[in-house]
């Protein structure tokens, strides 16, 4: 019996052979990803670079692989090591992150890189990684397993979905997630924790997908209770999402020849530290009031909408003409501004142009 099967069967009745079957499939079907050291490379003795593993995991939070890939290439070309990233200017990193969303990740990325550079090395355990800025349970488990070979679980939404189906989990979703996390921790094989984590990621991304899972070619279908029931798409059973509140405001498009007026948003709060078009406050009533320098009526040219994690935003785009530059603002080439803006301001600038 393979060591992976022994490790699993000793603690997880009902899942005997699961890790071995999954890893055999992964050896044949692993995705080729720019941050990954594949099965053949691992077998040849190549070890993953923790910087590339960590950077990819942060970028992939709430982001698809195709979208994150070009950012990963750009970051690793510009800042090849964690020390290079730690020495980068905040504004440069925030601008390079523009378009990836969830901008607190970029701020924590810099904080984390600087702590690692100051310490002189990476923490090499799940518990040590959890102490770094922006690293939660999933990322800590992923980096510990993938980069350092620790027997740690990496449980994200994809893995939750896979195991909700394997278990046909019908209970309270919060309790089921706890049960899933505990089971995955038990199943991680001591000799191949990184590949086990990657195999689960690939399984959720390519076979056990949210809609139309391809059970016929699933390497672990024999362990799947949802397949046995004939309703894999029923799982996971989650509580209904509450409708997101709506906020409103105005955003100002102000041009001077080939430049546009921009501001640097405060470091704390939503889109913190990002370059942006000037706006009013965002509120449910939309009655935040304009600053003194923007009191003229201007031309309302349309509306942009954007969905954040906790609310939906509608901004009326207003074109203004100004003689003087308001204090705290600066002019930036229109051609550069679009690349530096978060998505909501890219939409507004595109509409104004």
Give the model's pLDDT for residue 286.
66
Q: The whole model's pTM is what? A: 0.79
pLDDT digits (tens, 9 = 90+) for 220-277: 999 999 999 999 999 999 888 888 899 998 889 888 888 888 888 887 778 888 888 9
Give the model's pLDDT for residue 3.
42
157 token code pair? 């939404």
Domain ranges of the chain: 3-234, 246-352
Give the model's pLDDT for residue 104.
84
Within 10 angstroms of residue 27's Cβ, the number of other Cβ atoms is: 15
Homologous superfamily, domain 246-352: Nucleoside Triphosphate Pyrophosphohydrolase (3.90.79.10)
Give the model's pLDDT for residue 287.
62
Catalytic residues, by residue number, are 57
> Packing angle between helix 50-60 and helix 65-78, nearest 10 degrees?
140
Of 3.40.50.300, 1.10.3720.10, 1.10.340.30, 3.30.420.10, the CATH number of 3-234 is: 1.10.340.30
Q: Which parts of the chain register pLDDT below 70?
A: 1-13, 286-288
Give the model's pLDDT for residue 225.
94
Give the model's pLDDT for residue 242.
83
Tokens 């020495």 belong to residue: 87
Per residue, what are the HEC states of the chain? CCHHHHHHHHHCCCCCCHHHHHHHHHHHHCCCCCCCCCHHHHHCCCCCCHHHHHHHHHHHCCCCHHHHHHHHHHHHHHCCCHHHHHCCCHHHHHHHHCCCCCCHHHHHHHHHHHHHHHHCCCCCCHHHHHCCCCCCHHHHHHHHHHHHCCCCCCCCHHHHHHHHHHHCCCCCHHHHHHHHHHHHHHHCCCCCHHHHHHHHHHHHHHCCCCCCCCHHHCCCHHHCHHHHHCCHHHCCCCCCCCCCCEEEEEEEEEEECCEEEEEECCCCCCCCCCEECCECCCECCCCCCCCHHHCCCCEEEEEEEEECCCCEEEEEEEEECCCCCCCCCEEEEHHHHHHHCCHHHHHHHHHHC
């Amino acid at each position: 019996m393979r060591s992976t099967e022994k490790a699993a069967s000793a603690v997880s009745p009902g899942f005997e052979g699961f890790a071995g079957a999954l890893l055999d499939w992964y050896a044949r079907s692993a995705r080729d990803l720019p941050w990954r050291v594949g099965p053949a490379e691992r077998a040849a003795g190549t070890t993953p670079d923790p910087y590339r593993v960590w950077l990819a995991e942060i970028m992939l939070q709430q982001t698809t692989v195709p979208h994150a890939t070009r950012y990963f290439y750009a970051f690793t070309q510009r800042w090849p090591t964690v020390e290079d990233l730690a020495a980068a200017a905040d504004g440069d990193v925030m601008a390079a992150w523009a378009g990836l969303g969830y901008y607190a990740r970029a701020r924590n990325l810099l904080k984390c890189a600087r702590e690692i550079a100051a310490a002189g090395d990476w923490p090499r355990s799940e518990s040590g990684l959890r102490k770094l800025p922006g690293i939660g349970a999933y990322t800590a488990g992923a980096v510990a397993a993938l980069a350092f070979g620790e027997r740690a679980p990496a449980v994200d939404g994809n893995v939750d979905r896979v195991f909700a189906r394997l278990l046909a989990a019908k209970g309270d979703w919060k309790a089921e997630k706890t049960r899933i996390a505990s089971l995955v921790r038990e199943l991680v094989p001591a000799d191949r924790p990184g590949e086990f984590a990657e195999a689960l990621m690939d399984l959720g991304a390519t076979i056990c997908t949210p809609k139309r899972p391809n059970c016929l070619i699933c390497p672990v279908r024999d362990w799947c209770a949802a397949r046995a029931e004939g309703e894999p798409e029923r799982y996971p059973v989650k509580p209904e999402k509450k409708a997101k509140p709506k906020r409103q405001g105005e955003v100002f498009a102000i041009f001077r020849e080939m430049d546009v007026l921009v501001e640097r948003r405060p470091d704390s709060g939503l889109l913190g530290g990002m370059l942006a078009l000037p706006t009013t406050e965002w509120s449910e009533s939309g009655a935040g009031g304009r600053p003194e320098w923007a009191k003229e009526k201007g031309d309302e040219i349309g509306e942009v909408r954007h969905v954040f994690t906790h609310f939906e935003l509608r901004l009326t785009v207003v074109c203004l003409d100004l003689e003087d530059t308001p204090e705290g603002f600066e002019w930036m080439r229109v051609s550069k501004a679009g690349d530096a803006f978060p998505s909501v301001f890219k939409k507004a600038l595109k509409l104004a142009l």
